[in-house]
Structure 1
Amino acid sequence: MERRDFNKMLLACGALAAFGVSPAPRALAQHREGGLTAILQPEPPILNLALNQQTPTGVVGGKIFESLLSYDFDLQPMRQLAESWEISEDGKMYTFRLVKNAKWHDGEPFTAADVVFSCADLLMEVHPRARANFDRCESIVARDDHTVVFTLKEPFAPFILAFEASSAPILPRHLYEGQDYRNSPYNNKPVGTGPFKFSEWVRGSHIHLTAFPDYYQEGKPHLTEIYYRIVPDAASRAVAMETGEAQLAQWMDIETFDVERLAALDHLTMTTKGYELFSPVLWIEINNRREPMNDKRFRQALMHLTDKKFVAERIMFGLAKPATGPIASTTRFFESDVKQYELSVEKATALLDEIGLKPDSDGKRITLRFAVAPYGEMWVRTAEYFRQAVAPAGIEVILDSYDIGGWASAISNWDFDLTTNMLYQYGDPALGVARTYISSNIRKGVMFSNTSGYSNPDIDRLFDEAAVETSDARRQELYSEAQRILVEDAPLLWLTEQRYPTIYDARIENLITTSTGVNGNFAAARYAE
């Protein structure tokens, strides 16, 4: 045996040990109803989608919890817990007729009371996006056990997009009403209406879901169970997919440099569909509260030092394209006519000199700390690249490592200089973009809000006006102006628009069926016969 083959065998054995099995040939289900083993990295802090919207929670929670709607690849609404819906001519009343045979995983019936409780009470207290959406409602009432009416204070064009599982998860009223939402025992033993119910969570090892036999869609789900295996090591994740011990890797489970190789294997296939609703933009987040980061000239200097093309090509390996601003080009109301920042150390240092940041005898102007997001090697490499990119201008960057909970706590409590982040856009700037920049969403302790602390009354006005405007042409004008101001102010350093790979066993059918991809409920997924 050659040395490289021996090393590969050792690596494979280590990966399979992490999955709790011994090395063996692939042995997968040979019929439509079978189990699925998926990789999950990092491990979620909790499993309640109302309280936590980080990616791992969304992946697992999307099988357990549901909302009223899902959305197809063109972002058109699809039935979920609502079987039909109507919007009044004035755009202020949304009437949802709910499925009549849905049950909670503990056997209790699902009714309109659960929807009213979730949207009017629980989510308003704990969910940053849902709070912003449902605060626009004059009332949320149950007309009967299977009809809910949302009446808006004024028209809100993207309201119909506010009902996917992570944006408005419906939780059981009978388990949460009158309880401390944040400390409920059901946050880690969730009870939903989805096609899979919670079975077990062994911290550091796996989360086990089993098919819910009383699911309201007849004949579904086809899969009997899903094991989400926690595998921190990137090489082990790749080997698990290569050997067939795992049948699904999503988001950034597989490092970008390994995607092409794995996708070419005969037993695997790959798609980048299923992220249309999210359309994430990767950025370097800057704490605008701290000097000198509260001066836009300093932030502009960082823009001049950052090579977005390098990040897209050398770190993302083509699974991204350079971003030009806060709205992705795949999302409505994108504006391309914005300020461009030439890659130039000379221009950056001129700005730094202008604001009085002079280099010392060693050439150093300032030291900043970078909170590295704990989601894998791509995030580490991006932070390392940024540290190198700004060094020629005399900016020293120290990288700090966190676990997922510690990182979220530091960012949400504004205890950072720099970090990387990547928020979903949810099909409309009013839902996924405005929250990062409007002053009213500066909320300490709340993740995925305006954690950078950027505040500009003009931006507040433009986003407010665009949200309630009913003319798409006028909305484009307002959002175009907002994008030009934001790119000039540079509250964040927008790097790339992401294209995520989902790599899975080639025999699995109907895995990615909506614009929420692997965060969907997998009710239709099955193995081909």
Structure 2
Amino acid sequence: MKSPIGKHLAGLAAIATLAAVLAPLPAVAQTKGGTLFAVVQPEPPLLVLGLNQQSPTQYVGGKIYESLLTYSQDLKPMPSLAKSWKVSDDGLTYTFDLQSGVTWHDGKPFTAADVVFSVDKFLRETHPRVRVVINKYLESVTAPNDLKVVFKLKEKFAPFLSLFGADNMTVMPKHIYEGTDFKSNPANQHPIGTGPFMFKEWKKGSNITLVRNPNYWKKGLPYLDGIVFQVIPDAASRALAFEKGDVQVLRGGDIDYVDVKRLQALPNVENTNQGAEMFSPMTSLVMNERKPPFNNIKVRQAVMHALNRKFIVDNIFFGIGKVATGPISSSTMFYDSNVPVYDFNLKKARALIKESGVDLAATPIKLLSYPYGSAWDRLGEYTRQSLEQIGFKVEIESADAGSWASRVANFDFDLTFHFTDQFGDPAIGVSRLFLSSNIVKGSPFVNNEGYSNPKVDELLNKASSANTPAERQKLYSQAQYILVDEVANGYLFEIKNVSFFRKNVKNLITSGIGLNASFDKVYIEK
């Protein structure tokens, strides 16, 4: 059993008191001013983090919105809108003291009432990860005064402090959203947060512009005048824009994987695969298990044997990844490699189809494409060809980011891909994909496949509140075995993306949330 537990878990659930203060700014002089040019792809459907958690929304929205905490590269909680916090001895009460003098981008004061509204009203309704925790574990969230918030849990939830990133416990403005239809509120077109950058304009199909928040609560920050996120649909054009200096930052996945080595050789360019510690993204093939043919376990097992996942990593993604063994990333707590193995074996795949009794010719399927670039298009075509070799009839349907999200959220698909973040603990990033209680419409990142197993529900729920790492490991190991054996999702590979930036861009990646961070201390060296 392989389980990298130690450094992440210690201190989150067992500590009695945790208080922190903001670290002082570096003594060296920073360069203030300038505009950072980056790429956002695909173009996000909207920027409101409380409503949408797709990768492009996280990237842009993470500069606009904040939460109570952020996280270091070793995933320890750090202050954000909360300046300090403490946990009761029994692990059921979490008290946060908030920063003073914080205002929303429209000038209204930020208070504890915004936090209570965001958690108890907004996110309880809208957020695919957070609402699972809120509905099961949260007894109450109250504001004793304007600068204090108290969370009381019904039962222990071991990774509770890992839940307070901006893309999870997004703090939304109560005065804008209270009493409205959250999803149709006009403010969704002009997002208002507390972050270091404010929304200026969105030229659809061209760019999204953010400008410095002149009243940001961290005095002297941000350094940048603004950020422009260019919308460049073509991967080759994105690579060219970076080479020419038209953009200074590329996220992992912004360019075709075939171009990675060439860009790594450019002068005055740096690259890193750091900054994904909180996410450890996992790519899966999602099969709609509500109807034939994927409601049959043997068919799903056949699919896994029909796909050469090493070929996918080595040739479609040019080695930038690692073959997955199950739903939990090998870099995440409670990973266990002792699960069923699906080798590439067409003979075994065809035998499983025969055993299933399913007539694949009578159940043609549609593969909903994943709108994240040419590598994903190639993955779709490879999957189509592989499945047709064992008797499937497959048609590929194209989709942009918005239509993909809408269709998957409404279970309107046969087969598709997604990559989902682990968020430092399987209770936050993994369980949401498999709990039968999370088969709910409205988000593409819940149990969209319709998988349901009461035993798995029991194991995942117990693991989230177990008292010791050893207990949690035992429960998660059992759950992983079942999830892999039954192919709850088709686990393909762990993403190991490479981000690029010009050498004069400083402080770009300084935390475990990488490029999704606020960029408050990013500056351009003159």
Q: Please, what TM-score do these two structures have when normalized by structure 2?
A: 0.92
Contact 2:317 2:375 in 1 (8 A): yes
> 2:421: which partner in 1?
424
Task: Name which of structure 1's ranges 391-400 and 161-170 shifts more when overlaid on structure 2.
Answer: 391-400
Is it true that 1:483 corresponds to 2:484 in the alignment?
A: no
Give per-residue Cα distances to partners, 1:398-449, cap 9 Å, x unaligned: 1110121111111111111100011111111110100111100001233211
From 458, 464, 470, give the equivalent of 1:473.
Answer: 470
The answer for the alignment partner of 2:352 in structure 1 is: 351
Residue 497 of structure 2 is aligned to residue 496 of structure 1: no
Shift of 1:505: 1.1
SS in 2 for 1:523: coil
**Structure 2 residue aligned with 1:133:** 133
Residue equivalent to 2:81:
81
Partner of 1:289: 290
Output the CA distance in 2 between the equivalents of 1:355 and 1:508. 56
1:85-110 per-position Cα deviation (integer Å, ceiling 9, x unaligned): 10111000001011002111111111
1:396-407 → structure 2 map (5 Å cutoff): 396-407=393-404
Q: How does 1:208-219 map to 2 (within 5 A)?
A: 208-219=209-220
**Counterpart position of 2:443:** 446
Task: Return the letter of the residue paired with 1:116.
Answer: V
SS for the counterpart of 2:66 is coil
* Number of the residue aligned with 1:92: 92
> Separation in 2 of the partners of 1:86 and 1:341?
45
1:65 equivalent in structure 2? 65
* Greater shift in the superposed pair: 350-359 or 409-418: 350-359
Q: Deviations over 1:246-269 (max 9, x none)?
A: 011113111111112112211221
**For residues 268-320 of structure 1, what are the alpha-carbon distances to aligned partners after superposition, in whole Å with 9 as ceiling and x for unaligned?**
21111111111111011000111121110000001111111111111111210
Given that residues 97 and 147 in structure 1 are in contact (C-alpha distance below 8 angstroms), is that contact kept between their aligned partners in structure 2? yes
Q: Is residue 186 of structure 2 the alignment partner of residue 181 of structure 1?
A: no
Q: 1:160 to 1:31 in 2, by over 3 A?
A: closer
Match for residue 169 of structure 2? 168
Q: Which amino acid aligns with 1:96?
A: F
Distance 1:353 1:40 in 2: 45
Q: Is residue 2:107 matched to residue 1:110?
A: no
Equivalent position SS for 1:216: coil
Query: Is the contact between residue 306 and residue 387 of structure 2 (CA under 8 Å) also seen in structure 1?
Result: yes
Shift of 1:346: 0.9
> For residues 165 and 303 of structure 1, what CA distance do their matches in structure 2 show?
35
Aligned partner of residue 63 in structure 1, secondary structure:
coil
- The alignment partner of 2:155 has SS state of coil
**1:365 deviation in Å?**
7.0
| Counterpart contact for 1:39–1:249, Cα < 8 Å | yes
Which residue of 2 is the match for residue 49 of structure 1? 49
Q: What is the distance in 2 between the residues matched to 1:415 and 1:177?
A: 31
CA contact (8 A) 1:156 1:470 kept: no
CA contact (8 A) 1:38 1:247 kept: yes
Whether the 8 Å CA contact 2:293–2:363 is kept in 1: the answer is no
Counterpart amino acid of residue 53 in structure 1: Q
Against the structure 1 CA distance between its residues 365 and 174, is the aligned structure 2 distance closer, same or farther, given a 3 Å change threshold? closer
Q: Alignment partner of 1:393: what SS?
A: coil
* 1:243 pairs with 2:240: no
Give per-residue Cα distances to partners, 1:29-56, cap 9 Å, x unaligned: x954211011111111111111110111
Name 2:12's counterpart in structure 1. none
Deviation digits for residues 427-476 of structure 1 (CA, Å, limit 9, x no counterpart): 11110100111100001233211000000011000001001112110000
Q: Is it true that 1:388 corresponds to 2:385 in the alignment?
A: yes
Q: Cα offset for 1:390?
A: 2.0
The answer to whether the aligner puts 1:410 opposite 2:411 as a matched pair is no
The one-letter code of the counterpart of 1:414 is F
Residue by residue over 1:112-136, the C-alpha shift from the partner in whole angstroms, topping out at 9 and shown as x without a partner, is 1111111111111111212112221
Q: How far has the Cα of 1:521 moved from its partner?
A: 0.2
**Contact 2:292-2:363 at 8 Å conserved across structures:** no
Counterpart position of 2:517: 520
Looking at structure 2, the residues matched to 267 and 377 of structure 1 have their Cα atoms a distance apart, in angstroms, of: 27
What is residue 20 of structure 1 aligned with on the other side?
A: none
Give yes or no for contact 2:67–2:166 (8 Å, CA) kept in 1. yes
Kindly tell me the number of residue pairs found equivalent between the two proteins. Answer: 496
Distance 1:117 1:355 in 2: 49
2:455 is paired with a residue whose SS is: helix
1:336 Cα offset (Å): 0.5
Hey, what does 1:35 align to over in structure 2?
A: 35
Asked if structure 2 preserves the Cα contact closer than 8 Å seen for 1:133 and 1:162, the reply is: no
- Supply the AA of the counterpart residue of 1:241: F
Unaligned runs of 5+ in 1: 1-29
SS at match of 1:312: helix
Deviates most, 350-359 or 188-197 = 350-359
**Does the Cα contact within 8 Å between 2:31 and 2:223 map onto a contact in 1?**
no
Opposite residue 471 of structure 1, the aligned amino acid is T
Point out where structure 2 has 5 or more consecutive residues left out of the alignment. 1-29
1:313-354 deviations in whole A, cap 9, x for unaligned? 111112100000000001000001011112111111111111
Question: What's the secondary structure of 2:63's corresponding residue?
Answer: helix
